[in-house]
Structure 1
Amino acid sequence: MTTTEPRTYPFNSAEALDLDPFYAQLRKQEPLSRIQLPFGEAAWLATRYEDAKVVLGDPRFSRAVAVDRDEPRLRTRKSMSGGLLSMDPPDHTRLRRLVAKAFTGRRVEKLRARTQEIADGLADEMIAKGAPADLVEDFALPLPITVICELLGVPFDDRADFRVWSDAFLSTTKLTPEQVTDYMERMWAYIAGLIEQRRREPADDLITALIAARDEEDKLSEDEMVQLAAGILVAGHETTASQIPNFTYVLLTHPEQLAQLRADLELIPRAVEELMRFVPLGVGAGFPRYATEDVELGGVQVRAGEPVLVSVASANRDESVFENPDQLDFAREEASQIGFGHGPHHCLGAQLARMELQVALRTLLTRLPGLDFASAPERDVDWKTGMLVRGPQRMSLSWQG
């Protein structure tokens, strides 16, 4: 199946959560293949689990090189330069260390009670209003937005603005290039204004802590601080807000596993890990790594200077690692899923996202008995389009009582 001409990528439609079966063919016959995204130079695509971990974790593969290259990408605009995702150690390590302490397992567990309180409040409002309800607007979006706003110190009343602005970070075709630039600039100006306010009126939040690192320890430039805060704000809610309805959709379309969870809520942490493995969140691979020297990978010689993209969704379905990978199995004992990434750029907020997803599932299963689609999936779910991530933009649900 080897081809010399790059294949058009991504393979699958952005709608729904099905993973294109062509990935399975590539894993078996051409684990490292040439692809061409809508924008940027051609690249290699890694589809196997072990190869993915090498690209994501080996220092011979660099993110920083992409800043000066026409990196392969799904949208016109390149990734934001200067952010954590465009850095290599030690610069990346320096910035990551400044905010990592806010996302440790211990700190996140302290947030669990508050997160549960927020989730219960949202469930109360859904119950009071009555079914059907839109899971996205009524629960999935406000839950992580409220948590990250409180953690950062962003006024919750401004959430409508930065929800719109955050689309600029994830849009492929939903927004025009001019809109993307405009929204990003508005968000950066907004964050810069918050920083100035916190300088005058410090608070017990992450923005104040970043200011201390900038003004007292001189470890953070002004631009780095603005981009860090903006990145945390977007990443801190968007992925979880997409995965809550994604997980709910998968459970409602897998009634046996849903019944299993309802019968034993202690399975929820394992269910979250398995759902992270099972759900292909990204429309396609992104954030290429560039080889800094010749590297043997997947039976191919990747030359120094060539970009490699990782299909996390394909790696999480690798049959050489996961038994019956296309089945949802809460008893799975194999290797860890890499839905939160791997290596230096492993998701900074992974523990926060895990906790929020656990709280969300527990709340939905206990507070809304008999949760189901209001009528049928094809009528009750509208899928996002023109975005880097997949998921419902509307999900109409009902429940008993």
Structure 2
Amino acid sequence: MTFKKTILTLHLWLGLTSGLVVFVVSLSGAVFTFQDEVRDAVEPYRQVAATGPLLRPSRLQATALRNHPGTTASYLMYPGPGRATVVYMADKAGGSFVAYVNPYTGRELHYQNLRRDFFTIVQHLHMYLLLPPAVGEWIVGPAVLIFVVMLVTGLILWWPKRKTDRRRSFTIKWGARWRRVNYDLHNVLGFYAAGVALLIALTGLMMSYEWVRDSATFVSNGGQSYPAETTPPAIDSLPVAAAAPRPVIDLYYEQMRRLSPGYDMLFLAAPTSVKEPAYGIAYQRALRFYHRDDYYFHPVSGRLLVRRPHGSKSTGAKLVDMNYDLHTGLLLGLGGKIVAFLGSLISASLPVSGFLVWWGKRNKQKKPRQSAALAGA
């Protein structure tokens, strides 16, 4: 068996194994790409008029808790100027909810069950196929790994043998029979989208697998490691702190506003244990997740323990911060999102067109045998 025939066999069987999962993950990723734009168009409560100074997070949490007894508030986000603060909540049954609260007036604008939210369902489909996370991640992760191999083997198979074949390898012969058109769609579109699809797949794997993330940071840092960037400060070694005179989440907020001036979006997590630090993130731009300062606070006193500003981070840490924006195309704005959307759509089409290529060849091989059998009779 020649090298190219071996690659073809590998490409075929890996595609048949992972095709359905790749189709669902890619298509759901394409749908999720413009979630912020769609939400802003159909969910008017996400945007508010700026009428004064922003209210403290404790007051916004108190509004949500008062309106919905029996729930707890875990964390909240100030998405940016002119946008409603999002308070993330949970009930005793394990349900997840969000309350949109006007950060200028303190009035609740909308309360939503995330289990019924369209884009939350799409995200869960994308990440776990709507299965329990512990099960779904063991299906999606390997399928995406296989898809990376498929992209590499597909490029090897696409590579033209002769110079005269190069033009045909870059164009789709629209006037040919449907099988030929489908073959060209699989090969030509696969080639054009390979770079984008590979980037989306690898950034997705960085979210799923710690070893992929560690490998990427190790290479980005030139073989050096910076354990302090991934290790939260220990609370047990600190002396017992006196309780803060005010809600600690307000102290977190005030320190982040002071130390990251001009940053549009803030994420604050309520303390969950006196033995673990609370954390917050300041993002430079609204609805962008790359340029960020990370904070760790004492859960009792509210004292700042560690601040990791964007400028002090290693190249590998910045790459990890950039990962989501790379994955969704956010890093390049609307143009990047369009490219990610088209790349995801083409990725979803590849298992379908590839299956049709295999099915067509399979049936084509049967016809001569059937004809020979009829002639012998």
- Shorter chain as normaliser: what TM range? under 0.3
Normalization by structure 1: what TM-score? 0.23
Larger-Rg structure: 2
Higher relative contact order (CA 8 A, sep 6+): 1
Indicate the structure with greater helix content. 2
Normalization by structure 2: what TM-score? 0.24
